[in-house]
Every structure is written in C-alpha cells, then in structure tokens.
Amino acid sequence: MARKSQAEKIHVRMSGDLPINSRVAVAIVPDPYSTIGEKIQVVRSVRHDPLADMLSRGVIDQALYLAGRKWQNLHERSTIGWIGAIDPTKEAVDGGKMREPLSDSQINAFKELQAAKIMLGAGGARLMMNLLEDQLSMASLGKLYECDTGRKLNFLSLRVRECLGDLGKLWGYVG
C-alpha cells in the first residue's frame, strides 16, 4: 500500500448538522489554510445551482458540468454591465455616468456564446439559457415547458444532457 504524500492528504472538517430540507453535496477543494497543497472535504449547497445538483446526483458527468460552467462564464463575461435603477417617468438630472465601452473580452465572449446558441438551435439555446443563466431547476424547467407526465420529464432531461453534450463537444470537454 502506497503512502499518500503530504500534498495528497484530505482533511475532513464537516459538520453533521444540516438544516431541514437542505440539498447538499460533498466536494473536495484546496485547503485555503494550507501552503503545501492539501485538500479538504466540504459540504456545499446545491439548492440554487442546478448544474452542481445534477453533477452530485450523477445525472451528468464532469465533462457536461464543465461545458455548462463555460456557458455560464461566457454569459457573465458578455453581460454589458451594471445598470442603475432608472425611472423613465422622472425628470433626468445631471451627473449620470457614461456607459463604459465594450471590452474585447466581452465581445469575444458574446461571439462564442452566439456560436454555441446557433449550434444548439433556438430550442436548445432557450433550454440552456433557462438552466444555466436563469438557474431554473429541472422541476421548474418541467413546469415551464409543461412536462406533466413522467415521459415528458424524461425527454426534457435527455434533451438537457444532449445540449450539454453538444456544448462539451464544441468546447473540447467531450471526445
């Protein structure tokens, strides 16, 4: 039996107390207090992260998870930016900020995301936007797409995995 090196040790610092109706998954992450690359086992909430929830339940694999995270990253980078609360019914006042010009990173992210949306088609792109940008759970997606039977829900789940697989192929996560 080979001994684990100091850098491969995993420390468990988890609490056994969880709130009622919590949705959590175990994850192994770098220890922020270690200088030699140790890892710790943590419990992370997946209630408001449908992609991580699907990964933790084995619905998708790591490659599909990474493809979904790339979409989310591109969406965040391509977002134009913060817009303050504007009330068009009130009189305009001086002192408003000029909008910042688009950066090259935003333009490139927007182009890459548009290419992915074209590859998926209108229906697949809308499904990925609901799942990855709006963070809708599979149950919420089922209601949105009026999947009232088990067969329709199963098809929706297959379609989500298919779209994530297509994104994974596009970005090189799936062979």
Q: What is the pLDDT of residue 13?
A: 60
Measure the CA–CA gap between 41 and 29, rounded to whole angstroms.
6
Measure the CA–CA gap between 68 and 74, rounded to whole angstroms.
10
Q: What is the pLDDT of residue 43?
A: 76
Domain boundaries, the chain: 61-81+102-170
Parallel, antiparallel or unpaired: strands 39-45 and 24-30: antiparallel
pLDDT tens digits, the chain, 175 residues: what are they? 455 555 566 666 666 676 676 777 777 778 888 778 888 887 777 778 899 888 888 899 999 999 999 999 999 998 866 554 555 566 666 555 666 677 888 899 999 999 999 999 999 999 999 999 999 999 999 999 999 999 999 999 999 999 999 999 999 998 7
Neighbours of 27 (CB within 10 A): 15
